[in-house]
Amino acid sequence: MFFTTIILAVREIRRHLLRSFLTVLGIVIGVAAVVTMVTLGQGATAAVAEQISSLGANILQIRPGQGFGRGGGGAQAPDFAMEDVEAIEEQIAGVRAVAPQAQASALAVRNAANWQTTINGTTTQFFTAQQWQLESGRVWNDAEEQAGKAVCVIGNTVRQNLFRNDDPIGERFRIRDVACEVIGTLSARGQGGFQDQDDVVLMPIKAVQRRFSGNRDIRFIMVAVDDAYDTASVQSQIETLLRERRSIGPGEQDNFNIFDTRQISETLQGTTRILTAVMGAVAAVSLIVGGIGIMNIMLVSVTERTREVGIRLAIGAVASEVLMQFLVEAVVLACLGGLIGLLLALVVTFFLAPVIQVPFLFDPQINLIAFSVSALIGIVFGYFPARRAAALNPIDALRHE
Amino acid sequence: MANDPIIALRAVTKTYGSGATAFQALKGIDLEVATGDFVAVMGPSGSGKSTAMNILGCLDVPTGGAFLFKGVPVEQLDRDQRALLRRRYLGFVFQGFNLLARTSALENVELPLLYRGEEKSRRRETAMAALAKVGLADWWDHTPAELSGGQQQRVAIARAIVTNPDVLLADEPTGNLDTTTSYEIMELLTGLNRDAGITVLMVTHEPDMAEYARTIIHFRDGLVERVEQGAAA
Ligand SMILES: Nc1ncnc2c1ncn2[C@@H]1O[C@H](COP(=O)(O)OP(=O)(O)OP(=O)(O)O)[C@@H](O)[C@H]1O
Ligand SMILES: [Mg+2]
């Protein structure tokens, strides 16, 4: 009997295709919205995690100022000096590598090709800290580092844009008015979250300071902590050391900050997760609205189909069978709507994810949940119209125009 | 046994509404219908014919009195029990045909079998046989919109008899049809009564149609005015 009811429901849906489609449109959109939001949100969370972890594991970033990023403490917070780097390296136990960094943004030019990129001045410790291998060539030696020679190691993106298929080793290109010799190329790391990690030119820090920034300041210091040591304790030792070196009295605030990348990663992931939840919740409201849409049209359709109900009752249908018929119709409709919604979400996220630059992650769980909810909506919102149909008096129903 | 009354009304009254607007449509009907009879119910408009038919068809219950169907007091049954009674023993034909729109003749005729839980293949077979009986075997896949009034009424009759009911109730079955078609429908009903032994109760305004009946019951103002033998007796 139950199977028959489903067949009847499907027949009824097929007989009124347009009406059926309009009935479930709300569910389709609701389910698609929820699944799209959550899927893209999860992709964004993963992208953030990926980007942070691409900075390296157990990495501390030290910057002047108090906030996250450059601002915060303002202009009075001085940059670091090479002596600070050396002090950390010599006095703190558990430090695997310390890499100072001075950055500049500049246009790199070679023959007709040019490319806007980031010039990152650092020491060879950078490669150790980042555990970044070379694809070809070599890194600069101590003599070149001390002299601040214009030699560079270039990322894969820069290589492709400036040199196409040529071998860049030994070649020169121009950054501002500096002719720079390529001595090495970095292995490709790819898209690290929202930013291309391979879009970089690495040079001895002295070269960048002298030729591009015009001072000896260090914008930030990257410290790689040995796996055997506790990152938090290393962090607090560095803080004590730097407070001393920067003459900060007791009770005064730090005019620099130290970020543990893992901590940032957790914070950011927490934030994107909350954002995902909020977007999902907003979309869920539209799903409820879709459910009310089903109820609305089912109620109208009960009125419209009063005579049909009368015929069924006269022929000998009992109330529960009529109730079942309308309920099953609502549930089958809602489930179909849910399925279409899932497909729609799949297509939308698949094509939208690359556009907003997050990875496409198919999560079966949210799909299952959204589908179950649409079935539930069918039951809940289909029940009232169904009960109304079942309660009809056969004579009145038959007389209904 | 064949002449036991299949239907018996005892002092049946029916009042619509309540209080000041209450209207007594049936004022005490006593009536017996023998198994296998062909009854025509006649009377002026508003005399309570349809009201009585609804009660006889177990679609409605009397306000007072007793209605015995095969000896069972119907007024004591609940909604669902009456539905099961209709499903098992009764067939209906209405003035307005009342077929499901956008649904093929075959599916319309199958409907009562569906509620009986019959197998699909048996459903098909039985429904096709019923359509053949009313002469519409070739029209099984047509929807009501694609059938003439007379054909629609035949489909309705096929639907009513597909379950082999004991009683066929028809409220003005020819009310919407022209004379020629009306006669065809009457021939069909007579045949079913004679060959399948189905008891037929039919409301009609036309004396020509009542000619087909063995018993004619005249209603007036919610009462049975008189019962006479029909031409077919
Ligand atoms: N649901 C109802 N509520 C109130 N009054 C009703 C209802 N149904 C019928 N009546 C009244 O009961 C009386 C009998 O109606 P009924 O339909 O039985 O007449 P009828 O003999 O079938 O008439 P007709 O030949 O026009 O079909 C009428 O006066 C009608 O107005
Ligand atoms: Mg009437």
Q: CB–CB of B114 and A8 under 8 A?
A: yes
Residue A191, pLDDT score: 63
Residue B151, pLDDT score: 96
When scoring A8, A305, A312, A315 by the number of chain B Cβ atoms within 10 A, the one with the most, hence best to mutate, is A315
Please give the structure tokens belonging to residue A89: 């390296």
Name the band, by pLDDT with cuts 50, 70 and 90, for residue B183. Answer: very high
B115 touches chain A (CB under 8 A): yes
Provide mean pLDDT across the span B60-82: 94
* Percentage above 90 pLDDT, chain B: 89
Q: For residue A64, is pLDDT > 50? A: yes
Q: How confident is the model over A314-329, as pLDDT tens digits? A: 999 999 999 998 899 8
Chain A residues inside the 8 Å CB shell of B77: none
Element (DSSP H or E) covering residue B40: strand B38-42
* Percentage above 90 pLDDT, chain A: 32
Nearest bound ligand to CA B52? 1
Q: Count CB-CB contacts under 10 A for residue B153.
A: 29
Interval between CA A391 and ligand 2 midpoint (Å)? 24
Q: For residue B188, is pLDDT > 70? A: yes
Provide mean pLDDT across the span A221-236: 89
Residues in Cβ contact with B112 at an 8 Å cutoff, skipping those fewer than 6 apart: A315, A316, B87, B159, B162, B163
B61 residue type, one letter? V
Name the band, by pLDDT with cuts 50, 70 and 90, for residue A169. Answer: very high
Provide mean pLDDT across the span A228-239: 89
Q: How confident is the model over B197-217, as pLDDT tens digits? A: 999 999 999 999 999 999 999
Total CB pairs under 8 A between chain A and B = 59
Q: Is the CB of B22 under 6 A from ligand 1?
A: no
Provide mean pLDDT across the span B170-197: 94
C-alpha distance from residue B40 to each of A233, B50, B68, B216 (Å): 104, 12, 20, 5
Given ligand 1 and candidates B12, B14, B16, B172, which is best to mutate, with the most ligand atoms within 8 Å of its CB?
B16
Q: For residue A69, is pLDDT > 70? A: no
User: Over chain A, what is the mean pLDDT?
Assistant: 86
Compare all CA atoms of chain A with the CA of B78 and give the residue at the minimum distance. Answer: A318
Provide mean pLDDT across the span A294-309: 85
User: ipTM for the complex?
Assistant: 0.93
Query: Domain map of chain B by residue range?
Result: 7-229
Q: How confident is the model over B116-134, as pLDDT tens digits? A: 888 889 999 999 999 999 9
Chain B residues inside the 8 Å CB shell of A5: none
Q: For residue B168, is pLDDT > 90? A: yes
Beta bridge partners of B227: B217
Distance CA A294, CA B106 (A): 30
User: Over chain B, what is the mean pLDDT?
Assistant: 93
Q: For residue A284, is pLDDT > 60? A: yes
Q: Is the CB of B44 under 6 A from ligand 1?
A: no
Nearest bound ligand to CA B171? 2
Name the closest-CA residue to atom 31, ligand 1: B46
Please give the structure tokens belonging to residue A150: 């214009």
Interval between CA B92 and ligand 1 midpoint (Å)? 18
B117 touches chain A (CB under 8 A): yes
Q: For residue A1, is pLDDT > 70? A: no
Name the closest-CA residue to atom 4, ligand 1: B16
Contact A151, A203 (CB under 8 A): yes
Contact B150, B185 (CB under 8 A): yes
Radius of gyration of chain A (CA): 33
Provide mean pLDDT across the span B8-14: 96
Q: For residue B4, is pLDDT > 80? A: no
Name the band, by pLDDT with cuts 50, 70 and 90, for residue A111. Answer: confident
Classify burial at B156, counting beta carbons within 10 Å of its beta carbon; exposed 0-12, middle 13-18, buried 19 or more. Answer: buried
Provide mean pLDDT across the span A102-112: 88
Given ligand 1 and candidates B14, B47, B225, which is best to mutate, with the most ligand atoms within 8 Å of its CB?
B47
Q: For residue A70, is pLDDT > 50? A: no
Name the closest-CA residue to atom 12, ligand 1: B25
Q: How confident is the model over A175-206, as pLDDT tens digits? A: 988 899 999 999 988 665 556 888 999 999 99
pTM of structure = 0.72
Q: For residue A271, is pLDDT > 70? A: yes
The one-character DSSP state at A209 is I
Residues in Cβ contact with A94 at an 8 Å cutoff, skipping those fewer than 6 apart: A225, A226, A228, A229, A230, A233, A234
- Better pLDDT: A15 or B189: B189
From chain B residues 82-111, the ones with a CB under 8 A of any chain A CB are 83-88, 90, 92, 94, 98-103, 107, 111
Please, where are the H alpha helices in A152-259? Answer: 156-163, 205-208, 231-245
Q: How confident is the model over B16-29, as pLDDT tens digits? A: 998 899 999 999 99
Name the band, by pLDDT with cuts 50, 70 and 90, for residue B1. Answer: very low
Q: How confident is the model over A368-392, as pLDDT tens digits? A: 999 999 899 889 888 988 999 999 9
Q: For residue A63, is pLDDT > 90? A: no
B62 touches chain A (CB under 8 A): no
Interval between CA B25 and ligand 1 midpoint (Å)? 7
Given ligand 1 and candidates B12, B41, B50, which is best to mutate, with the most ligand atoms within 8 Å of its CB?
B50
Interval between CA B20 and ligand 1 midpoint (Å)? 17
- Better pLDDT: A400 or A120: A120
Q: CB–CB of A315 and B115 under 8 A?
A: yes
Facing residue for B79 by CB, picked from A8, A319, A398: A319
Nearest bound ligand to CA B218? 1
Please give the structure tokens belonging to residue A27: 């569910």
CATH number for B7-229: choose from 3.10.20.440, 3.60.20.30, 3.20.20.80, 3.40.50.300: 3.40.50.300
